[in-house]
Chain A
């Protein structure tokens, strides 16, 4: 980035921080949020150590899955709420009922390999009726995670990250992906020839790439609810000192009920890749995002932040004392707002084994050297503490405009 660009962005940031001329927003760090506790569109969530007992900053809820069209159902607890992905994924080892296997036209089972940042999930695509709180969706494609039902092809293991298909490796009984997208892959997977390694058909001779229609892909179940289907709100109270648990709500719908109005929340729209810009110390990081499935504030690196890396808990920051920092979010729609946040020493935070809520947990994210255009902020779950965050689904109409966007 040139010095001129930096100066321009710094100036823009200051102008936005002190005026309403940038589309609203502003600092929300001093507000106290209200957490809705009841309603047919409200599912309780708890930040806890999770079913594996060693999660940090994981928000968990319960999801009921049923054999399609039947009353054969099972409620799965300990499912991670993830606004950074799309689709419901349940550990095979947590399922006691047999869901309906999805098959190709030629009768072969469909199996998926889904890459996340540090792991991939592998296992068959199955169909279930999904119920969360009072909301229902019928015949939803979900992924059942299993290393053993089918052998992962070399193209899947070729993502290079380990599989997360067991309680030990996933740290949860499943993932409820309630992000921007209606399906996980989208148009890239329509044809076998462009499928980037996500969907396979698996005859006994082995798994080969297949084309998968949008309707058959693993779905954001929220988008398929009869109502309250345009997005979600995650509501968690503020938390600064480490704590054992934190209770909040996952509210379905945006502006569809009296309990999910945008109110004073500012809408931040995103680019085609689901990114917005975060400005820090006068430089703009344009590949930034909000993700309840990331478990810390992941941003930049020591050379920019001055925060040292931990030596034991590598991948987190370990400043000698808590550091209060400030950054400015900037939506594509020019909405801007300042975020004040504190990063404390991760090894100090982790000292008490019973704690799993860390509102001051941070870690590095950045690419080598400073000034890479790939640098970004990943506002993980601590960002949600004390702030109701709306995630609007692509193409869905809301009182704040058509998704995708975040609002808070």
Chain B
């Protein structure tokens, strides 16, 4: 996405900031990718994060800042479903929370070793129903995950970042 387009979205954005001091244990155990908009709040509580909401063309972004400095963005379609998540920060977020019901698929995919050789580098998982990419190194991790089938029409995968 171009810098100018981002700037336009900034102008249009609606900001709701809520800092929650609620204990993490109060969160329901269900997470957010593929979930409904309510799961965003569950994630916020679980991660003890502050949140701001940005309205873009074709989707809404809920951006959460965890106390550990990691930023998690959850992308919600007009019909209220989380179709993608992106994170960036010194350490990865709690993927069980962020990926929700897709966590097990991620774990299985991350465990499968392609070919006979050890591969050490960025993780790229591209399966029917789940795409996960991670990158970076110690103290600077980033990643995205989305469900290709749930991308709202007109929204491109690279918007999830």
Contact = CB atoms under 8 A, between A and B. Distances in A.
Interface of A: 1-2, 5, 52, 54-56, 58, 84-86, 115-118, 154-155, 157-162, 171, 177, 179, 181, 184-186, 188, 193-198, 273-275, 287, 289, 291, 293-296, 298, 310, 312-316, 347, 350, 363-374, 376, 378, 380
Q: Which of A54, A188, A368 has the most CB of B within 10 A?
A: A368
Contacts of A366: 133
A368 B158 contact: yes
- Which one of B118, B137, B157 has the highest number of Cβ atoms from chain A below 10 Å of its Cβ? B137
A117 B134 contact: yes
30 contacts: A5-B3, A54-B117, A55-B117, A58-B118, A116-B138, A118-B123, A159-B95, A160-B92, A160-B95, A185-B139, A188-B69, A196-B68, A196-B70, A196-B89, A196-B91, A273-B136, A273-B140, A287-B140, A287-B142, A291-B137, A296-B121, A312-B115, A313-B115, A314-B114, A350-B116, A371-B158, A372-B144, A372-B161, A374-B133, A378-B135
A85 to B, nearest CB: 5
B5 to A, nearest CB: 9
B50 to A, nearest CB: 14
B92 A159 contact: yes
A162 B90 CA distance: 19
B156 A179 contact: no
Nearest to B70: A196
Interface of B: 1-4, 66-70, 86, 88-92, 94-97, 99, 103, 106-107, 110-111, 114-124, 131, 133-142, 144, 146, 156-158, 160-161
- Per DSSP, chain A at the interface is loop
A157 B134 CA distance: 17
Contacts of B142: 287, 374
Contact of A186 (B3, B106, B139): B139
A291 B157 CA distance: 28
